[in-house]
Every structure is written in C-alpha cells, then in structure tokens.
Amino acid sequence: MEFRDKIYKIVKNIPKGRVATYKSIAIAIGQPQTSRAVANALAQNFNPKIPCHRVIRSDGFLGGYNRGGLTHKAKLLRSEGVLVKNNHVEPKFILPSQ
C-alpha cells in the first residue's frame, strides 16, 4: 500500500465530532517523522470521501484546507460538533495518538 493510501485509510476512520493530528496519523502509519508529508498528502487530496478537514496540527491549530481555507474547515468541524475558537480545536476533541 502506498504512503498516501495508508494516510487516507486512517483519515476515513476519524469519526464525526473528533479530529486527529498530522503527527498522530504519521505515528499510526508507522512513520512518526513524516508529519509534514502527511499534511502535504492531504493537501493534494480532493476526494470528498476522505474527511481531510478532521486533521489538524499538533498545537490544536486548524492547519490548511484545500477545499475552502480555514474558515470553511472551521465551519465543517463546528457542524460536526467540534468546538473551534480562534482557529484552534479544544483539546477534548483531539483523538489520542495510536
């Protein structure tokens, strides 16, 4: 399975109302030093079945979103019940690293 496919498989399983970090995705695929590569792979994804908006930075900041920017990413997360303030997600919504 390709690097990108491993990422997409994990991201597909992030439930509504929760988020994961780029770092936790990198850890989950067994390559903990590849957080930036995870972010780059998600930035190139336009498949609506992959909920890229549910992946954020380790500091809680939303990070980028290729389908409408931070405002749209925050709107999507809020519609799923995630508390977003000043483009940061409240820690209780962040899934622990696997």
Rounded to whole angstroms, how far apart are CA atoms 45 and 77?
Answer: 18
Three-class secondary structure of residue 21 per DSSP: strand
Half-sphere exposure of 12 (CA within 13 A, CB side): 11
Whether 52 is catalytic: yes
Rounded to whole angstroms, how far apart are CA atoms 35 and 94?
Answer: 16
| Residues β-bridged to residue 89 | 84
Rounded to whole angstroms, how far apart are CA atoms 98 and 87?
Answer: 24
* Selected catalytic residue, list 10, 28, 52, 74: 52
* Catalytic residue numbers, as ranges: 52
